Structure 1
Amino acid sequence: MIVVDTSALIAILKTEDQAAACEAALNRATTCLISAATLTEALIVSARRRFDAEMKELLSLFSPEVIDVTTARAEQAADAYRRFGKNFHPASLNFGDCFAYATAREFGCPLPYIGEDFAQTDLVSALSVAQP
């Protein structure tokens, strides 16, 4: 089981350097989870970049289980921001990142991600498992 972050989805769609590793991590996972807030972020980012249809197709391919944002989960994401958010920590997690972080922590799952932001937190990268 893994939690999906927007950066991994964008990497796959834009065929970035780590796209194959992200795709392998998603393919290997028995279950993919995504916070409703992270899903919203992914849809907004893809719409802004004009590849929202491709994002919806990718999401339907991996069929992530959408995790609702409850009061407790919102508080966990806010705690993540206080620990690792912009202006608080070098990781500089943003709004969507904090929900991905909180979901990964809640379910004890690795997270496929691109960049150095999550690498500066206490999460496990799902990419290290997927790389040859």
Structure 2
Amino acid sequence: MIVDASALIAIARNEPAAPAIADVLRSGAILLMSAPTHVETFLVADRHPNPTVSRHVETLIKAARIQIEPVTAEQAAIARRAYQLFGKGSGHRAALDFGDCFSYALAVDKDEPLLFVGDDFTHTDVLVAAY
């Protein structure tokens, strides 16, 4: 299963989806995150006014044993295509940002469901992780 930044941020901010997302992270599934998405996660967490959000995200990544995956050339090509099709400024309802495109690319490349919060990815062809 691929983990998007939005899933970890939802837990760290105690958003309504947090308990269900936490259950998925504890499910024992192999969890992967693209390296650029990992950076994006901390860009969001670090700018939160509460400094514990960033520490909470770091703890979540370690506790869930989320593996940070380097970007392959194939994934880079998929991410670029995702931005062309679904990216902000494309006019598509998904309006994926830079980090989203790498979550999408890893999920497509690995043929794994994507764990996320929000509706942006629901407007793409990516497999969706249930929670």
TM-score, length of structure 1 as denominator length: 0.90
Query: Could you tell me how far 1:72 is from its partner in structure 2?
Result: 2.6
Instruction: Look up the match of 2:13.
Output: 14
Instruction: Look up the match of 1:53.
Output: 55
Aligned length: 127
Instruction: Look up the match of 2:31.
Output: 32
Instruction: Look up the match of 2:112.
Output: 109
In structure 1, give the amino acid aligned to 2:88. Answer: K
Secondary structure (helix, strand or coil) at the match of 2:19 reads helix
5+ residue gaps, structure 1, are: none
Identity %: 38
1:95 aligns with 2:94: no
In structure 2, give the amino acid aligned to 1:70. Answer: T
Instruction: Look up the match of 2:80.
Output: 78
1:30-67 deviation line (CA, Å, top 9, x unaligned): 20000000001011111111322111111111111111
| Alignment RMSD (CA, Å) | 1.2
Instruction: Look up the match of 1:125.
Output: 128
Query: Could you tell me how far 1:109 is from its partner in structure 2?
Result: 0.9
After TM superposition, the structure 1 stretch with the greater mean CA deviation from structure 2, 29-38 or 71-80, is 71-80
Question: C-alpha separation between the residues in 2 aligned to 1:79 and 1:124?
Answer: 17
Instruction: Look up the match of 1:67.
Output: 69
Query: Could you tell me how far 1:71 is from its partner in structure 2?
Result: 2.9
TM-score, length of structure 2 as denominator length: 0.90
In structure 2, give the amino acid aligned to 1:125. Answer: V
Query: Could you tell me how far 1:29 is from its partner in structure 2?
Result: 4.2
Question: C-alpha separation between the residues in 2 aligned to 1:5 and 1:79?
Answer: 18
In structure 1, give the amino acid aligned to 2:58. Answer: K
In structure 2, give the amino acid aligned to 1:60. Answer: K
